[in-house]
């Protein structure tokens, strides 16, 4: 059974700091990994999708890396802003043994202080 862990559970940083969020998964047989943000009381917004054959994806100030063999992904946020405050979730889509579901981590709650 796939398990996804995110560290840290919560993070508070001053505006302008670069930061790294970590995601690890137990079954390396994945199709892809996706990072989302969730704002309080709202649904999920997709940030980046990394296919299993890829090593990283970039979008603006965000960079996500994937090391499939070691079961790890990181989300790097450059020059953080108060508007980045949200819960960040990583989710993996498993291979044949895990079915077609997305398995989510518990999330990292990020607060960027002005």
Partner 1 sequence: GAGVSQSPSNKVTEKGKDVELRCDPISGHTALYWYRQRLGQGLEFLIYFQGNSAPDKSGLPSDRFSAERTGESVSTLTIQRTQQEDSAVYLCASSLEATSTKTFGSGTRLTVV
Q: What φ, ψ does residue 91 adopt, rounded to 5°?
A: -140, 140
Site string for partner 1, 54-93 (x = CB under 8 A): -----------------------------------x-x-x
By beta-carbon proximity to partner 1, the closer residue of 19 and 49 is: 49
Measured distance CA(92)–CA(86) in Å, rounded: 20
Tell me the helix, strand and coil percentages in the chain, rounded to 5. 5, 60, 35
- Take residue 110 and report the two structure tokens written for it: 């990020």
Q: Which stretch binds partner 1 (CB under 8 A): 20-28, 46-54, 64-72, 73-81?
A: 46-54
Q: Please identify which residue in 34, 73, 80, 108 interacts with partner 1, judged by CB under 8 A.
A: 34
Distance of alpha carbon 56 from alpha carbon 22, whole angstroms? 14
Selected binder of partner 1 within 11, 28, 74, 104 (CB under 8 A): 104
Nearest Cα residue to 56 out of 70, 80, 73, 31: 73
User: Which of 77, 86, 107, 112: binder of partner 1 (CB under 8 A)?
Assistant: 107
Q: Which positions touch partner 1 (CB under 8 A)?
A: 31-32, 34, 36, 42-46, 49, 51, 89, 91, 93, 99-107
């Amino acid at each position: 059974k796939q398990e996804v862990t995110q560290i840290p559970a919560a993070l508070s940083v001053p505006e302008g700091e670069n930061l790294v969020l970590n995601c690890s998964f137990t079954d390396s047989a994945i199709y892809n990994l996706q990072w989302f943000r969730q704002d309080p009381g709202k649904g999920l917004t997709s940030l980046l999708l990394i296919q299993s054959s890829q090593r990283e994806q970039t979008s603006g100030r965000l960079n996500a890396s994937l090391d499939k063999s070691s079961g790890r992904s990181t989300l790097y946020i450059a020059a953080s802003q108060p508007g980045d405050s949200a819960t960040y979730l990583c989710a993996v889509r498993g291979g044949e043994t895990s079915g077609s579901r997305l398995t989510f981590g518990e999330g990292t709650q990020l607060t960027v202080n002005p």
